[in-house]
Amino acid sequence: MTKFLITLMFTVGCFSTAAHAQRSSFTKNLFEEKSHDFGTIARAAQIDYVFQFKNTTKNNIEVSAVRTSCNCTTPSIEKRVVAPGETGGIRCKFNTRSFLGARRATVTVSFSRPYFTEVQLEVKGYVRRDIVVNPPAIDFKNVKEGVGGSQKVAIEYAGNDDWKITSVASSSPDIEVLLTETHRGDSLVGYELLATLKASAKPGYLNRYQLMLKTNDKRMNEFPISISGKVAAAISISPGLVDLADVKVGESISKRIIVKGSEPFQILQVKSSEDRFSAKIDGATKKLHILPIVFKAGDQAGPIKATVEVVTDKGGPAKRIQFSGTVVK
């Protein structure tokens, strides 16, 4: 009996140690970045940053809550439940209207799945009073893939007449900028900034980008303008990552894939990197397609790792689905 209890205690202890190690690894490696410096910011500018993470586990990740150490920062959850293969984020909005000078905040993110744990993120910045940006940020809103868009921003400076914006740099190759001086005199300087989103911009959120404006002010020679919006894909596919788990030799398994478009479209072809995958195309033109993809295991056991591509009549690159799993005897 004593030997049994010792063995049981050792087993439980090993399990507890392994679980703690997994939770620690999850907490440490989930976010690629855990801190962000907004730099010098114009007063009333709308500035935020999204700390992104990708779910590389086989379970859903659930974000249960966020809290901040300072009212200068407002955190929010982009997506509470993040499925395997999907990307989630914590948006941190910096309050530039009520606070001036140097500010720093710690944002604590609580998770309830797959582990009860917390991750701390940090944001900081310096809000200056002599520059006003209107509107406070560049928001392209929802732009259809292949369309593009533009927005104007007015920049006002109160101070020396010789103040100048010397350059504007975009962190995105898909966003071009044209800067025009509108007035100068009586200690006021004004500019109009035109930001243009190229029609060739790839689908996805634009929130990770910003414009950095440099000036001839030697004390604080640069300030950012944040960018938000989304380029909506003409065609989207879900899920993009499929785990078939264990499939017995000789058996078949079918998975339903949802293919959606902003306008009616036709699926022209479904092709795979290996011949164990097949799909039946109905030839219909519609906004929503439910596409069954069948995997038929052969007589050999081993890992499943394949890419299935869906080609539509909308052109552009094929939409990809990654399949994984194991054929077992």
User: H or E segment at 152?
Assistant: strand 149-158
209 and 170 Cβ atoms separated by less than 8 Å: yes
Domain boundary among 64, 95, 128: 128
**39 in the same domain as 124:** yes
Assess if residue 23 is contained within a domain.
Answer: no
Residue 277: other Cβ atoms inside 10 A: 20
- In the DSSP assignment, the letter for residue 45 is -
192, 273: one domain:
no
With respect to residue 4, please indicate whether it lies within any of the assigned structural domains: no
Residue 7 located in a structural domain: no
Q: CA-to-CA distance for 272 and 78, rounded, in angstroms?
A: 33
Domain boundary residue, one of 232, 247, 271: 232
3-class secondary structure, 79: coil
Under a CB-based contact definition with an 8 Å cutoff, are residues 73 and 94 in contact? yes
- Clarify whether residues 59 and 121 are in a common domain: yes
- Residues 178 and 244 occupy one common structural domain: no
Counted domains in the chain: 3
95: domain CATH number is 2.60.40.10
Closest CA to 94 of 226, 220, 230: 226
pLDDT by position in tens, the chain (length 329) = 555 455 545 444 544 565 667 787 788 889 988 988 887 787 777 788 899 998 888 889 999 999 999 989 999 999 999 998 899 999 999 888 788 888 899 999 999 988 899 999 999 888 877 888 888 789 999 898 888 999 999 999 988 889 999 999 999 999 999 999 999 998 899 999 999 999 999 888 898 889 999 999 987 788 888 898 989 888 889 988 999 999 999 999 999 999 998 889 999 999 998 889 999 899 899 999 999 999 999 888 999 999 999 999 987 778 999 999 999 98
Contact of 145 with 231, CB cutoff 8 Å: yes
Of 211, 207, 206, give the one whose Cα is nearest residue 224.
211
Q: Answer yes or no: is 6 within a domain.
A: no
Residue 79: which domain range?
35-128
Contact of 102 with 126, CB cutoff 8 Å: yes
Domain identity same for 243 and 159: no
181 shares its domain with 255? no
Whole-model pTM: value is 0.59
- Pairing of β 319-328 and β 241-248: parallel
Question: What's the half-sphere exposure (Cβ side, CA atoms, 13 Å) at 151?
Answer: 19
**319 in Cβ contact with 237 (< 8 Å):** yes
